[in-house]
C-alpha cells in the first residue's frame, strides 16, 4: 500500500473509532483580499480559498503531487497532455463538474486584470474532448506543468454565467463582483461567509468526492492584526491554532504545557522592490531622473541594510539573511549563491556619491503592517539604516489590502513584498517577479517595472528546458544576474512556526497554507 494511502487509512480509522466532530478556529494576522480564485496571488487568500476550490492536481500530506479533479494524465507528446477528469464530482450547489468548467476556468484565469496567470504558464489551449476528458496544448515542453496547475482553481461555468462573474474581479480598480464575495467550488469545505477583518466561516461539504479523513466539520478563520491580541486569543482558548507568531513570544509559547508548536522554514522571501522603469520617481526629492535606474544606487541601498541586526533584534533569530529571491528548499537556492551581503555604510556612501547622490535623497517607502512577520518593524529599522547614508525614506505602513492596491496601481516607487514559492522551483519567482511584464504569466507580479533582456532570455529558456542539468544551469545564471544587478533588495527568508492547543494535530506546510483536511482536534 502506498504511504499516502496508509496515512489516509490511519486518519479514517481515527474517525471511525469515534473521534468527535470539532470546529477549528484559526488565527492569523491578515485577512483575505478577495473570494475570486483568479484575482489575487496572495497566500492568505489562496490558503482559504483552496478549502473550497480545487485544481486538477493537489499536494498530499507529505507535499507530494497527486490527482485531484483529474484522475489521470497522459503525455501524448511533449506539448500535448490528455487529462481524464474525475466523474461524479459536483459543485457545492449540486451542479456536475465537467470539462466545460475546466475550459471556462482556463479562459478566465488568463484575463489580464487578475494576477494568477502564472499557474497556467506555457498552456496555449485547453480543448474539451468529452464530458470528462480534456487536452492541454502547450507552447513548448513544460517541466513544472503538474505543479503549476495545483493552483489553477476550477470555477463552475453555469454559476459564473448566472451571477455575471465571467470576468475576473479587477481588484486594483476596487471592483466587486459576485465571485469576489461568494464561492462555488468542489472542495472539502463550503465557505459560508466573510466579514472583512473579522471572520471567514466554512463548513464541511458532505458531498465531497473524496473521503473526509478528519474530524473538522467547521472552520473559523480569524484575522487578528495585533500581536498581543493574537497571542492572548491562543492562551485563552479563543483560537486553536496560530500561524502568525510574534517572534518575541515564540519561546514563551513553546514552553507552555497547554500548547505545542510545529515549525520549519517557509518557502518565502521578504524583499524590497524598486521602480526601475519610470523616468522620475513619484514622491522623490530627485527631479527629472530616477535614481533606481542606477545599479550603484540599488547596491548602496542593499548594503546599507544590516540583515544580521534585523535577524537578531527584530526576528529573534527566526530569519535567514538573504541574497537571493528564493529561499532554501526551493530548487535553485544554494548556500554559496545565497550568501547575504554584510552591511557596509562606508561603501554605500561611496556608491551614492559615485552615482551623483552624495547628499542623498528622499523617497517614499510603502510596507504592510499585518502581512509578514514583523513587517512594519523591519521597515522602521531600514528607514533608520538608510538615514546613515543620507537616504530619507518616508514610511507609509498600511494593512495588506491597502498596500497591495498601492503597488498594483503603481502608486509607490519602493515597496516591501514577501513572495512564496508553492511549486518549489525558482522559475515561479523569476517568471512572475523579475520577467518583463506582459499581459500573460510573464511578469504577472512585476510592479517594479524591471526589464532586463538577458534575464528574460534565461527565464524563457528555463520554462521549456526538460534536461534537468541544463535547466538548473539556466536558473543559477538567472538568480545570479538578479542578485548581481541588484534588481531587488532581498532582506531575509522567513522561518515559520505554528502554535496550537495541545489537542490539535495538523501537518506543517512550507507554503504556509494549513489545510483543515489534514487537521484533527482530539477530545
Q: Return the CATH number at 408.
A: 3.10.105.10
Residues 6+ apart with CB under 8 A from 252: none
Question: Are 488 and 508 within one domain?
Answer: no
Question: Are 453 and 517 within one domain?
Answer: no
Residues 6+ apart with CB under 8 A from 113: 39, 167, 168, 169, 170, 171, 172, 173
Among 194, 197, 195, 239, smallest CA distance to 52 is for: 194
Residues in the chain, total: 523
Q: What is the number of structural domains in the chain?
A: 2
> What interhelical angle do 295-303 and 345-354 show, nearest 10?
160
Residue 490 maps to a domain: yes
Question: Are 94 and 121 within one domain?
Answer: yes
- Look up residue 235 and give its three cell numbers: 492562551
Pairing between β-strand 22-28 and β-strand 216-223 as defined by DSSP bridges: parallel
Q: Alpha-carbon distance 514 to 510, whole Å?
A: 9
Residue 4 maps to a domain: no
Pairing between β-strand 123-130 and β-strand 133-138 as defined by DSSP bridges: antiparallel
Question: Are 510 and 480 within one domain?
Answer: no
Chain position carrying cell 502581512: 371
Quick one: pLDDT at residue 487?
98
Q: Alpha-carbon distance 111 to 114, whole Å?
A: 6
Question: Are 194 and 73 within one domain?
Answer: yes
Quick one: pLDDT at residue 19?
61
Residue 65 maps to a domain: yes
| DSSP-assigned letters across all residues of 220-266 | EEEE---HHHHHHHHHHTS-SEESS--GGGHHHHHH-TTEEEEEEEE
Residue 146 maps to a domain: yes
Q: Alpha-carbon distance 152 to 54, whole Å?
A: 8
Note every long-range contact of 92-97, with CB atoms under 8 Å and residues 24 or more positions apart, other chains counting: 92/52, 92/183, 92/184, 92/185, 92/186, 92/190, 92/205, 92/207, 93/156, 93/159, 93/184, 94/207, 95/156, 95/158, 95/159, 97/69, 97/154, 97/156, 97/186
Question: Are 244 and 288 within one domain?
Answer: no
Domain that holds residue 272: 268-494
Question: Are 97 and 155 within one domain?
Answer: yes
Strand arrangement, sheet containing 133-138: 70-77, 80-85, 133-138, 123-130
Q: Alpha-carbon distance 164 to 298, whole Å?
A: 45
Question: Are 64 and 154 within one domain?
Answer: yes
Quick one: pLDDT at residue 251?
93
Residue 3 maps to a domain: no
How far CA 238 is from CA of 257, 260, 370, in Å, comes to: 17, 16, 20
Half-sphere exposure of 22 (CA within 13 A, CB side): 23
Question: Are 220 and 274 within one domain?
Answer: no
Question: Are 486 and 433 within one domain?
Answer: yes
Question: Are 413 and 512 within one domain?
Answer: no
Chain position carrying cell 523617497: 363
Per-residue pLDDT of the chain (523 residues; tens, 9 = 90+): 333 333 343 344 444 333 689 999 999 999 999 999 999 999 999 999 999 999 999 999 999 999 999 999 999 999 999 999 999 999 999 999 999 999 999 999 999 999 999 999 999 999 999 999 999 999 999 999 999 999 999 999 999 999 999 999 999 999 999 999 999 999 999 999 999 999 999 999 999 999 999 999 999 999 999 999 999 999 999 999 999 999 999 999 999 999 999 987 789 999 999 999 999 999 999 999 999 999 999 999 999 999 999 999 999 999 999 999 999 999 999 999 999 999 999 999 999 999 999 999 999 999 999 999 999 999 999 999 999 999 999 999 999 999 999 999 999 999 999 999 999 999 999 999 999 999 899 999 999 999 999 999 999 999 999 999 999 999 999 999 999 999 999 999 999 999 999 999 999 999 999 999 999 999 8
CA dihedral 466, 472, 477, 482 (to 10 degrees): 100
Q: What is the CATH number of the domain that holds 180?
A: 3.40.190.10
Question: Are 371 and 406 within one domain?
Answer: yes
Q: Alpha-carbon distance 247 to 416, whole Å?
A: 19
Amino acid at each position: 500500500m502506498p504511504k499516502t494511502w496508509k496515512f489516509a487509512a490511519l486518519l479514517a480509522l481515527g474517525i471511525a473509532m469515534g473521534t468527535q466532530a470539532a470546529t477549528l478556529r484559526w488565527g492569523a494576522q491578515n485577512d483575505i483580499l478577495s473570494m475570486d480564485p483568479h484575482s489575487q496571488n496572495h497566500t492568505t487568500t489562496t490558503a482559504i480559498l483552496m478549502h473550497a476550490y480545487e485544481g486538477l492536481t493537489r499536494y498530499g500530506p507529505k507535499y507530494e503531487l497527486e490527482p485531484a479533479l483529474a484522475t489521470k494524465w497522459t503525455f501524448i507528446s511533449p506539448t500535448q497532455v490528455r487529462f481524464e477528469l474525475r466523474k461524479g464530482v459536483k459543485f457545492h450547489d449540486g451542479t456536475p463538474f465537467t470539462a466545460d468548467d475546466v475550459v471556462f476556468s482556463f479562459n478566465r484565469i488568463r484575463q489580464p486584470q487578475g494576477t494568477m496567470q502564472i499557474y497556467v504558464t506555457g498552456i496555449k489551449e485547453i480543448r474539451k474532448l468529452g464530458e470528462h476528458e480534456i487536452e492541454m496544448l502547450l507552447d513548448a515542453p513544460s517541466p513544472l506543468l503538474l505543479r503549476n496547475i495545483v493552483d489553477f482553481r476550477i470555477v463552475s461555468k453555469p454559476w459564473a454565467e448566472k451571477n455575471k462573474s465571467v470576468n475576473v474581479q479587477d481588484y486594483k480598480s476596487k471592483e466587486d463582483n459576485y465571485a469576489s464575495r461568494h464561492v462555488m467550488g468542489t472542495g472539502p469545505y463550503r465557505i459560508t461567509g466573510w466579514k472583512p477583518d473579522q471572520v471567514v466561516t466554512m463548513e464541511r461539504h458532505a458531498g465531497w468526492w473524496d473521503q473526509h479523513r478528519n474530524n473538522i466539520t467547521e472552520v473559523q478563520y480569524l484575522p487578528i492584526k495585533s500581536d498581543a491580541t493574537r497571542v492572548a486569543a491562543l492562551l485563552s482558548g479563543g483560537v486553536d491554532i496560530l500561524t502568525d507568531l510574534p517572534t518575541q513570544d515564540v519561546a514563551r509559547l513553546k514552553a507552555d504545557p497547554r500548547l505545542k508548536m510545529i515549525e520549519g522554514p517557509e518557502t518565502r522571501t521578504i524583499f524590497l522592490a524598486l521602480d526601475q522603469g519610470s523616468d522620475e520617481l513619484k514622491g522623490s526629492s530627485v527631479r527629472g531622473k530616477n535614481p533606481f535606474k542606477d545599479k550603484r544606487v540599488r547596491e548602496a541601498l542593499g548594503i546599507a541594510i544590516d540583515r544580521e541586526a534585523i535577524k537578531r533584534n527584530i526576528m529573534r533569530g527566526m530569519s535567514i539573511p538573504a541574497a537571493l529571491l528564493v529561499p532554501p528548499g526551493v530548487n535553485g537556492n544554494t548556500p554559496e549563491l545565497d550568501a547575504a551581503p554584510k552591511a557596509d555604510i562606508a561603501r554605500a556612501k561611496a556608491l551614492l556619491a559615485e552615482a551623483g547622490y552624495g547628499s542623498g535623497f528622499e523617497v517614499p517607502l510603502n510596507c504592510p503592517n499585518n502581512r509578514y512577520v514583523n513587517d512594519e518593524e523591519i521597515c522602521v529599522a531600514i528607514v533608520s539604516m538608510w538615514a546613515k547614508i543620507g537616504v530619507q525614506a518616508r514610511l507609509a505602513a498600511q494593512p495588506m489590502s491597502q498596500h497591495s492596491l498601492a503597488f498594483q496601481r503603481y502608486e509607490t516607487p519602493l515597496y516591501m513584498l514577501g513572495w512564496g514559492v508553492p511549486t518549489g522551483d525558482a522559475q515561479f519567482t523569476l517568471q512572475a517577479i523579475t520577467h518583463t511584464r506582459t499581459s500573460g504569466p510573464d511578469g504577472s507580479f512585476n510592479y517594479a517595472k524591471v526589464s532586463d533582456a538577458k534575464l528574460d532570455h534565461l527565464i524563457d529558456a528555463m520554462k521549456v528546458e526538460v534536461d534537468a542539468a541544463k535547466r538548473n544551469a539556466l536558473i543559477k545564471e538567472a538568480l545570479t544576474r538578479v542578485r548581481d544587478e541588484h534588481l531587488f533588495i532581498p532582506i531575509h527568508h522567513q522561518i515559520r512556526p505554528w502554535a496550537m492547543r495541545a489537542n490539535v494535530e495538523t501537518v506543517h506546510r512550507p507554503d504556509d497554507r494549513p489545510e483543515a483536511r489534514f487537521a484533527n482536534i482530539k477530545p
